[in-house]
Homo-oligomer: A and B are copies of this chain.
């Protein structure tokens, strides 16, 4: 007997999270085990509010345009369900005859799926619960990389290509703040912008290494003396030796998962620029914070990322229909060349809660740059970048 499917999106949007949504929905529509495909608006909030969209009724061509569209087409939410929420969610799922639940998101969302699945087991419900990975931070354990990362990385790399050329024209110090709370992968992707030996970013600061304003100033001055300019990639998540995020000094907002709000403000960049102005004689010091454009800019997604996000959604539905009761879909890179990946179900608890960090082999000794190993890792994901030429 057929049961219905419910799918929702959570956390920060990405350029390809709708590929996973459409991959799952279109795969489900061909399955004999699945009846109606429902989408809940704004994640678990839409389940609690019984606020659904019938995805079975939306044309394939419309869904294909949705897949190409950045951000979360069903809407998103940042809410950690309580035990009461979970009980309420079961009632709704039972009432809607839902046998398959899919939640697209990061490690917080995997944790949410895990909580719901544990509650389902206790209630002896046959509900199948799957997490589909998504995060521009690329910080999910078990995964070689996560859908959303490569497209954001592509934006960051393109932004640094342009910004380095801009800096080459006018000189001075340029600080760019890149998203990434605990993991530096996206900030590190700025290095893909380098085409010639003196191209920026010249310095890269990651959450994985303690940040010191004194070392930072020394690094910037040395680079400026060498090149007459210094282009810098700084993760929004950089933290001091005690582990406290520098940006947290300027932020008072905390979400229900306990995450402090770091994005949506230029204060970290302005702080660093002011420190360099105060501590050096360099005349032109500017800071930009790339902000939400990194995850939402249309028309710039990585092709590989689009394909993999679609396939992750497809793989989750196949795993559920083929009999697994719960799991997350992990992307594993094959060791053989050319670049290929597989999509493998793993236990939810292996992905939930904790985050993955940049491996030490990706970071230089001084902790102010990345290694060639990172470039070899990231370049195939991001794909070919615009070719440029300069005269200086």
Which positions in A face B, CB cutoff 8 Å? 9, 12-13, 15, 39, 41-42, 53, 58, 62, 65-66, 68-78, 158-159, 161-163, 165-166, 168-170, 174, 263-267, 269-270, 273, 285-293, 295-300, 385-392
Alpha-carbon distance A72/B12, docked complex (angstroms): 36
Contact (Cβ within 8 A) B267 A391:
no
Contact (Cβ within 8 A) A390 B69:
yes
Contact (Cβ within 8 A) A158 B299:
yes
Expressed in whole angstroms, the minimum distance between the Cβ of A12 and any Cβ of chain B is 8
Contact (Cβ within 8 A) B298 A158:
yes
Contact (Cβ within 8 A) A388 B170:
no
Contact (Cβ within 8 A) A13 B296:
no
Contact (Cβ within 8 A) A297 B75:
no
Expressed in whole angstroms, the minimum distance between the Cβ of A52 and any Cβ of chain B is 11
Alpha-carbon distance A263/B68, docked complex (angstroms): 32
Number of copies: 2
Contact (Cβ within 8 A) B287 A265:
yes
Contact (Cβ within 8 A) A71 B299:
no
The 9 lowest CB-CB distance pairs between A and B, nearest first, are A266-B266, A264-B286, A162-B296, A288-B291, A71-B165, A65-B389, A298-B386, A72-B169, A69-B388
Which of chain B's residues have a CB closer than 8 A to the CB of A41?
392
A-B contact pairs, 26 of them (CB 8 A): A13-B165, A39-B391, A65-B388, A66-B391, A69-B388, A69-B389, A72-B169, A73-B390, A75-B168, A78-B170, A159-B293, A162-B296, A162-B297, A166-B296, A264-B285, A264-B286, A264-B287, A265-B266, A265-B273, A265-B287, A266-B270, A266-B288, A286-B292, A288-B289, A290-B293, A293-B293
